[in-house]
Amino acid sequence: MVSMILLTAAAGASGAIMRVPRSAATMASTRMVRTSVAMARNRSGGAQLCANEAPANDHALSAISADGSISAKAVVTTELVAEAARLQGLGGLATAALGRALTCSLLVAEGLKDGETFQVKFDGDGPLRGVLAVANGMLESRGYVGNPAVTLPPNAKGKIDVGGGVGRGTLQVVRTKMIPGVETPAQYSSITDIRSGEIPEDINYYLLESEQRQGALAAGVFVKGDDTAAPLPSGVMPVQVVASGGWYVQLLPFAAEEAIGQLEANLAEMQSSSPSSMVRQGLGARGMLEGLLKGLDPQFTEERGIPSLADSCPCSEERLLRTLRLLPRPELDDIVEKNEVVEAKCEFCATLYRMTPDEIRKEIYP
């Protein structure tokens, strides 16, 4: 007999500048148990690249205009998204949705202090049944979609219909922040309506409305079908993640109108190029930032690598033990008496943990 414990989480492009007026800018028997998994180990998941496509080692880079009034960040996340698709058995639509969410979370989280995180959770009525992504200042990230096997016709623009997959509902944003004098981070949660379901646009609206951050956020994932592969266990065909990336540009307080005008002109020039197309062209994060801050004499930080999902995942046998200790004693007794083997599968990295009745007796029973 097998008891299953599911380890889970606790809780497109948008290219226009979001601004507010200056005055306002301030196996047999199955038991399902859900438990929290917060933010570290090592497995690799390389991106599957097509011939003649520019390779994209995942990385992040930040820059600021010479006058200090505009900051920008850019990331390449091809390998990360390919790893998520492989580990979680995602179809094309789920890959695009999760890839955008992971990319946006990394862009917002870049620069956070140790122990601080940024999490987005889309609770929509679409067939994806929710999208979650979380990242921290170390650029560790993870996420999942509720239904990896969704297929929908292309949208009106002929693109993957992420908005249709997400649907309408709410976007919950959870931030953990370090407070001076307090050892553990404080948690802050906000909820807003999903506006389009395309992901970057919704997060950008949240940043404007709830945090008064004026800027533009873009993320894109380019996938191709893999006709040579067998269907995934979910029934959908696997995809090749060709390119994934994104950028985020923010107006800082008292930004000069001249600088804003230059930024708007730069965004207009970039409107026809999605982040994923820039990655495919081999531009990388620096190329995206040079386009965003053209004419503004950008000053660049040092490039940073982005850890894999497996590196970022904190799942462990100890977490399984902590989960089992939270079960009611009669339920735990029932598992042991029926000689059930407990299995726990991490929704993020797909690692499977097993614990026998003898191990349960040894580790949990007095």
Least confident of 53-57, 67-71, 244-248, 276-280: 53-57
What is the rounded distance in angstroms from the CA atom of residue 311 to the CA atom of residue 141?
Answer: 9
> What strand order describes the sheet that includes 34-35?
34-35, 2-7, 341-346, 352-355
The length of the chain in residues reads 366
Least confident of 39-53, 56-70, 219-233, 273-287: 39-53
Least confident of 222-236, 268-282, 293-307, 330-344: 222-236
Could you please report the per-residue DSSP string of 13-35? EEEEEE---GGG----S----EE
Query: Average pLDDT, stretch 32-50?
Result: 29
Quote the percentage of the chain above a pLDDT of 70.
84
Provide the pLDDT for residue 181: 83
Q: Each residue of 125-153: pLDDT tens digit?
A: 999 999 999 999 999 999 999 999 999 99
* CA-based torsion, 198, 201, 202, 204: positive or negative: positive
Whole-prediction pTM value?
Answer: 0.83
Q: Which fold has domain 1-11+27-38+314-366?
A: CBS domain Like (3.90.1280)
Q: How confident is the model at residue 4 (pLDDT cuts 50, 70, 90)?
A: very low
Q: How confident is the model at residue 229 (pLDDT cuts 50, 70, 90)?
A: confident
Least confident of 41-45, 56-60, 113-117: 41-45
Residue range(s) occupied by CATH 3.90.1280.10 in the chain: 1-11+27-38+314-366
Provide the pLDDT for residue 68: 95
What is the rounded distance in angstroms from the CA atom of residue 8 to the CA atom of residue 34?
Answer: 6
Residue range(s) occupied by CATH 3.55.30.10 in the chain: 39-312
Q: Which CATH architecture has domain 39-312?
A: 3-Layer(bab) Sandwich (3.55)
What is the rounded distance in angstroms from the CA atom of residue 80 to the CA atom of residue 105?
Answer: 13
Cβ neighbours around 361 below 10 Å, total: 10
Q: Residue 267 pLDDT > 60, yes or no? A: yes
